Amino acid sequence: MSSFRVLQFNMQFGQGWDDAYPDLAPVDLEQTIAAIRQVDADIILLQEVEHAEPNGVQIGPPPNFTRLKAALADYDSYFSYPKPDPRELPFGIGLAIFSRSKLFDTRRIDLPSPPLEFNFNGEMKTPTDRLLIGAKTTIGGHTVQLFNTHLLAFFMLKSSSQDHPEQREMVLAEMKQTTLPTLLCGDFNVSDHNKLIEQFASKGFQTAQTRQITWRRMPYVLDHVFHNRQLRAIKHAVIPTMASDHHLLTVDFEFAD
C-alpha cells in the first residue's frame, strides 16, 4: 500500500444536526455509519462514541460501538470509556479506533482534568477526566502508532488550556516515546488552534489542516490529525455532514522514506 486514508470524526454519539434546534436533533446511528462509510478510510478515529448515562453509569457492551463494529465488520477495532465518574454530564464519551489492518498493543491513558468550577443548569460542577487511547497497526510493511484523544474544552469553562496545559503535555509525552510513524487524531477543544499547533510543531508533529472550520456550533478548528516526519500528508478534506455537530476530516498519507 503506497498511501492510506485516515478519518477523524467526533460523531456526537450519533446525534445529527438541526440548524434551528441543534440540542434536540434526533440520534440516528445509521446516518453516522453512512457518513463514515462514504469516505472509505483505512483508519477511523472516533470521539464521543457513546452517550453518557446518568450518574456515570457505563453500559457494557457499549451499544453504539457494538453497532459500529457490526456495520464495519471488515475493520479491526478498539474502544474505551473514560474512567467511570458519577459527575459525568449528559454528553458524548468514549473513544474508538477502527483499522482495516490488525490492531495490537492497545492501551488507554487517563488525562486528569483540573478542579475548575463551572455552572451547569444552575449547579456548580467540576470536569471529569479525559482520555487518550493508543494502538499499533501494520500498513504497507510499516508499523504505525495510532493515538486518539478528546481533550477538555477549557473555553466552555471560561478558562484556557494555556493556563492548564497538563492534558496536552501528557499527550505529547506519550507521542515522544515512539520512534514509529505516528498519528494523533482527536477533538482538541482548543478555540485558538494556533497555539496548539505551535506547541506540537515544537516537538516534531504537524497537523494536516488549519484553515477550515470543523465544528458547527462555533467557528473553531477543533479537529486535528497530527503526524510526525515519517509520514507525509498528500491530501486532505473537511467534509460537511449532518450526522454530527462536527465535520468529517480525512487525510491521505504516504510514508516519507
Looking at residue 80, what is its pLDDT?
Answer: 98
Q: Is the pLDDT of residue 5 over 90?
A: yes
Share of residues in the chain with pLDDT > 70 (%): 100
How far is residue 99's CA from residue 115's CA, in Å, rounded to a whole number? 36
Per the confidence metrics, is the pTM higher than 0.95? yes
Residues 56/91, Cβ–Cβ less than 8 Å: no
Cell numbers at 238, concatenated:
473537511
Cell numbers at 252, concatenated:
491521505
**CATH ID of 3-255, from 3.40.50.620, 3.40.47.10, 3.40.50.300, 3.60.10.10:** 3.60.10.10
Mean pLDDT estimate for the chain: 96
DSSP per-residue codes, 154-190: GGGGT--TTT--HHHHHHHHHHHT--S-EEEEEE---
| H or E segment to which residue 197 belongs | helix 193-201
Could you say which DSSP state residue 141 is in?
A: T
Q: Is the pLDDT of residue 1 over 70?
A: no
Q: Is the pLDDT of residue 257 over 80?
A: no
pLDDT in tens, 72-131: 999 999 999 999 999 999 999 999 999 999 999 999 999 999 999 999 989 999 999 999
Share of residues in the chain with pLDDT > 90 (%): 93
| Pair type for strands 43-47 and 3-10 | parallel
Name the residue with cell 482520555: 131
**Helix pair angle (63-71, 29-38), 10° resolution:** 40
pLDDT in tens, 200-229: 999 999 999 999 999 999 999 999 999 999
pLDDT in tens, 170-199: 999 999 999 999 999 999 999 989 999 999
Average pLDDT over residues 154-173: 91
When pLDDT is cut at 50, 70 and 90, the band that residue 239 belongs to is: very high
